Structure 1
């Protein structure tokens, strides 16, 4: 059984780049913005997602994130587990949703991206980089492929700063559609894969022409306190300050405690 992550990191000088205009579309050829995070077994997949969200929320509250899944059952599971987190404001998009509710979910998320952009601009212009945004909740939308925003209905891209493919699409067309309907042009895609799905991911990478890099995680075991320390090197924060005392360089570190 695993506990929640115990986060420890240096100060942030900046986060993700500002969202571009709603009319912009993501660059499918961007090679530096696609990552995959592999876990050994499916039972660790959700726990890893929750750890990652906790890590992000502690440092970048209010970050607009979209999660894509392939089935309604998986959507219900993600909504139940992620929606229970106190630092998340989550809304689903599903097939039998009322039009008014769907419009409200989309509008709420679009407003969150605008507020994120304004907050980031204010932080950039401030003398001190510290803001109160870490006290805000992550704004998240969870959607199945059948319920992504549709241009034919006048719906624009979610413009999320991060797109998490909790279930990996097997076809490049689905991968690109998730990007074009959910992700800001300069956003980041994180693909969560289990075991043998890495082979599927590599096949997707070859057919799509994308470079999907393994998330830069370095694992080391600390015998003195029995912690596995995972160091995220420049994952979500390309301008992250270097730790002053650790000598690890541009790295964020958080720890997951394992209990026997």
Structure 2
């Protein structure tokens, strides 16, 4: 079942770990029609961390719309999407709100690792942006990276350059990349791993071990 891959421990018993570089994982899904269910389970568990900033990358607008529709049922996650016909003002507002979420996450993580206690902000929602490659932050135009704690590649890019761009524009320096793979996509993942010099490990059963 899809829920087996994201079995939860109590969030309050875990403290975020700090790493100097991103960590890469893959999450294998048995069949394509389980993929969306698995993603929702994954977001549902990870998103129970207050203020957790997450990004889901899709290859096409249709897939972005499907992800947004499925994830909208998760009441503890504040979600936004970036698409091509989005007004510039609204795009800027989405980035600003996400930046505030990453700041809160970093502050809370510092308190937890320093004091060994929770911050008492369980009421805060985690924050999710769903985006296609065409709408990633434009660093050359002055937009800043989103610096998410978790980047989920719902669909693998076909080229390592796209994979690298997603990391550069979406992920914090100590963030986590989760690649969802079905069937033959394992070959694509291996090609990205080898050509990029990365180590992409199997995702732990308990997602809170990663956060």
TM-score (norm 1): 0.74
Q: Counterpart in 2 of 1:35?
A: 25
Does the Cα contact within 8 Å between 2:6 and 2:42 map onto a contact in 1? no
Check the 8 A contact 1:16/1:161 in 2, yes or no. no
1:3 and 1:206 map into 2 onto residues whose CA distance is 30
**Structure 1: segments with no counterpart, 5+ residues:** 19-25, 217-230, 238-260
* Alpha-carbon distance in 2 for matches of 1:38, 1:5: 9
Which residue does 2:9 correspond to in 1?
9
By how many angstroms is 1:55 displaced? 1.6
Counterpart CA distance in 2 for 1:73 and 1:181 is: 22
User: 1:201 maps to which residue?
Assistant: 189
Q: Give the C-alpha shift of residue 2 in structure 1.
A: 7.2
Choose between structure 1 and 2: higher helix proportion.
Answer: 2
Q: Give the whole-Å Cα distance in 2 for the aligned partners of 1:196 and 1:111.
A: 39
In structure 2, how many angstroms separate the alpha carbons of the residues matched to 1:165 and 1:207?
A: 18
Distance 2:207 2:69 in 1: 30
Return the alpha-carbon distance in structure 2 between the equivalents of residues 171 and 150 of structure 1.
19
Matched, 1:166 2:140: no
Aligned partners of 1:41, 1:7: CA distance in 2, in Å?
19
Asked whether the equivalents of residues 16 and 187 of structure 1 are also in contact (C-alpha less than 8 Å), the reply is no
Query: How many Å separate the matches in 1 of 2:46 and 2:86?
Result: 29
Shift >6 Å, 4+ stretches: 1-6
Q: Are the aligned partners of 1:83 and 1:90 in contact in 2 as well (CA < 8 Å)?
A: yes
Aligned residue for 2:122, secondary structure, equals helix
The verdict on how the C-alpha distance between 1:52 and 1:6 changes in structure 2, with shifts beyond 3 A counting, is closer
Deviation at 1:56, TM superposition (A): 1.6
C-alpha deviation, 1:133, in angstroms:
3.5
Structure 1 pair 8/206, CA: closer, same or farther in 2 (3 Å)?
A: closer
Matched with 2:198 is 210
Deviations 1:172-221 (A, max 9, x none): 000000000000011010000111111111111111111111113xxxxx
Contact 1:215 1:235 in 2 (8 A): no
Pair 133,7 (structure 1): closer, same or farther in 2 beyond 3 Å: farther
Rounded Cα–Cα distance in structure 2 between residues aligned with 1:7 and 1:232: 5
> CA RMSD of the aligned region, Å?
2.5
Query: Which has more radius of gyration?
Result: 1
Aligned to 2:141: 153
In structure 2, the residue corresponding to 1:133 is in which secondary structure? coil
Q: Deviations for 1:105-150, whole angstroms, at most 9, x for unmatched residues?
A: 1111011101111122233343x51333333211011110010000
2-side partners of 1:35 and 1:48: how far apart?
15
Distance 1:5 1:173 in 2: 28
Aligned residues: 210
Are 2:176 and 1:188 equivalent residues in the alignment?
Answer: yes
